[in-house]
Chain A
Amino acid sequence: MNHSSVPERSPAPPLCKRFQSGRRRVLEAVSTGVAAVAAVAHGLALASAQGTNAAARAAGGEPLTVAAYPALDRILKGLEPDWSARPGAAPIRLVSRSFGDHHSAITAALATRKGLPDLMAVEFGYLARFAGSGALADLAPLLGADGAIDDLIVPYAASQARFGGRLLALPTDIGPGVTFYRDDLLKRADVSPERFLESWESFVDSGRRIRESTGARLIGHARDLKDAIIRSGIQAGDGLYFDAQGRPALTSDRFERAFRLAAAARAADLDARVPAWSNDWSEGLRRGGIACQLTGAWFGGHLANWLAPGTTGKWRSALLPGGAMTAWGGSFFAVPAGSSRKAEALAFLKMLALDPVRQIDAFRRHDAFPALLAAHDDPFFAEPLAFFGGQPARLLWRDVARRITPISVHRLDPLAEEIVNVELDRVLLRGKPVRQALADAQSILERRVARAAR
């Protein structure tokens, strides 16, 4: 600020002039200040950028941006030391957000084609939507010999990663669907596991006996039962809510059976009416108020480690009722087509998805069930699990994973799920007839499909 540059005024000017003069001085001072601040800020920014670049260069180059959600972020963090030890490996910049925020951020980045990471996690439910963006790279040619993943990855997961013949993602962990049940409660109710899991109908019947004998409820929510049944008996190529041609399939026998049995379970007070992951649900699992959970095999680790560690030895795992083979969720990783770091991203992804040692490590530490077939031969699978009364449950989960029929995913699956859940609520709470509810759900979904197909 240079006050001496302002010429002296004499004699004293009139008030308005004095004001103008004063204002000018202020403006001059401010403008000089702004210029100075801008210069300093510019200098700092340059220095900072140079510092960052220097640090990045020192650490092996520009960071490779990897975006994920919990608990995949912890798996990725665990990989960093091994990755950094590779000669010339770029540092990893891990962007971790909550599950919903992560997918919203990816959606926004896809919308603008700006700010996409070099490698990004995609949950199974979002895969079809993101695959339809045209912004994901075909990994098959980039992977070279590893591009033929059908021999490397669990078949159903490998199939789910392909869209129109292009491999748009690599599965890292999967969720083969199984039953987790309280063996002690079944024994008290004098229900044999064979009878319990013979069919969906016997499952609900057994729930009545468990409720009468022990007071425990069969499942957390009737919705869980519906979710399990609609996953049973899907023909290869069909989806959960759509057939192979992409038409809504909500009036099929699968849905009718699911709705009827869910309504029967509710009518007999067999569900605790608590959604999964709520406080009441976890307390129900801890205190023996809920006898069973139908979900992905990854749930076993959560149950043993933090949900109900005090119930060691009381739980068992088995096939889904009626021997249904299906899956719950799964994590995939994709590389944006526009990324200039595809080769490095692929190298990191191969380490994550195609290295049996690291896949087993992720399973051991983070309950991420490996999608890689080579990892399935590890002795870790045959270990008896104290939490499951010494049962080598991982062998069962592995068997299920290999036998699951691939189903197709549709970009309107999240909407279809909501439509089905709303109609099920109306059946359970308002007594709406099942067929009417399914017909309404079909009609709503058809309207949405027609809108999306314009």
Chain B
Amino acid sequence: MKFSQRMMLQPRHAPWVFLAPFLVLFAVFGLFPIAFSLYMSVHEWDPVQGLGSARYVGFDNFTFVLGDEWFRNSLGTTLLLAVLSGVPQHLVAIPLACFIDAQARRTRDLLAAVFFLPYITSTVAIAIMFTALLSRDFGMVNLVVSTLSKWPLIGPLLPDGPIDWINDPDRLVPAVSMVVFWRFVGFNTLLYLAALQAVPRELYEASRLDGASTWQRFRFITLPMLKPVMFFAVTLSVIGGMQLFEEPFILSGGNGGVDQAVLTTAIYLYRSAFEFSDFGAASAMSWLLFLLMAALTALIRRFLGEKES
């Protein structure tokens, strides 16, 4: 038998060989961390002691985490940031996509690319740029606010002194929300814009003949037709919001900010593992966060998902 014949793949093995690169990578970087995290959630482990030092503790980590005030606060912060940054994304993205689809068809691709740009820009670069922009004494944002405060009509509505966006916990939350909103609104716009291409134009033409107003066409044609994509986009926003990490991490200097103002659950579990050496609690937190995300996704599906007839 020749070498090439010996090396020939059996057809029944072929799918596995072709799938092998993905399967191996998925097993190593997908399945193993999940399984290891599940294992760690019921073990006590100080990483520097080595893998052999892990000790089974049952549900102690979950009990500890559920009784931990910082964890509960971090959940509240995560939900707050998810709502403050997530809801406006869709409230802006849907009308924006409709506008681009209806009024800017020639420049649609260019506009989509421009709105999409923040999404593909490095989060670290974005956060560092916003840290400089939001600087209290030397930031561009406060410079603009200071200039506007001298204007006759807007002036009285703005604060007298510079706004401490980063070091005032009450300002840091909107600042982080704004950055997250700015980053993801383009992504959602693109999703809705793509969905709008699939809406049959005849529906709009027929509604026009029937005398429907622009609002009526939006309310009774566009919105219902966008519902499946809304379900998808809102689900992504909820998952992304619950896993929010980079923007608050970098804007707050890596510790969740003054008075833990933007200490999201993702940041807290990261710090628990790598700064406080408590991998057991961190793993338990990640599974509790997963359960919460699953529950929220189910809730969204109930309201926005396709109803089975």
Contact = CB atoms under 8 A, between A and B. Distances in A.
A24 B167 contact: no
Contact of A113 (B11, B50, B167): B50
A415 B276 CA distance: 6
Interface string B160-196: 0000101111000000000000000000000000000
Interface stretch (B109-117, B216-224, B253-261): B253-261
Interface stretch (A195-203, A225-233, A377-385, A422-430): A422-430
Contacts of B46: 132, 411
B277 A411 contact: yes
Nearest to B9: A27
Interface string A22-66: 011001101110010000000000000000000000000000000
A429 B11 contact: no
Contact of A100 (B2, B169, B254): B254
In the complex, which range does the number of interface residues on chain A fall in? 35 or more
Interface in B112-164: 131-132, 135-138, 164
Contacts of A133: 48-50
Interface in A381-439: 411-412, 414-415, 418, 422, 425-426, 429-430
B14 interface: yes
A415 B272 CA distance: 9
B116 to A, nearest CB: 30
A31 B70 CA distance: 56
Contacts of B255: 418
A451 B46 CA distance: 12
A27 B138 contact: no
Contact of B48 (A5, A20, A31, A110): A110
A304 B64 CA distance: 48
A104 B11 CA distance: 46
B49 A132 contact: yes
B32 interface: no
A111 B2 contact: no
Contacts of B57: 454
A27 B11 contact: yes
Interface stretch (A159-167, A278-286, A324-332): A278-286
A24 B13 CA distance: 12
A43 B52 CA distance: 38
B43 to A, nearest CB: 12
B47 interface: yes
Interface in A273-328: 273-275, 278-280, 283-284, 289
A129 B275 CA distance: 10
Nearest to A287: B137
A414 B11 contact: no
Contact of A31 (B8, B47, B132, B166): B8
A273 B47 contact: no
Interface of A: 1-2, 5, 20, 23-24, 27-28, 30-32, 35, 100, 104, 107-108, 110-113, 129-130, 132-135, 273-275, 278-280, 283-284, 289, 411-412, 414-415, 418, 422, 425-426, 429-430, 444, 451, 454
Which 6 A-B pairs rank lowest in CB-CB distance, beginning with the nearest?
A133-B48, A111-B47, A425-B259, A110-B48, A415-B276, A27-B9
23 contacts: A2-B2, A23-B14, A28-B5, A31-B4, A31-B7, A104-B274, A108-B47, A110-B47, A111-B48, A111-B50, A129-B48, A134-B50, A273-B168, A274-B136, A275-B253, A278-B166, A278-B253, A283-B137, A411-B46, A418-B255, A422-B259, A425-B169, A451-B278
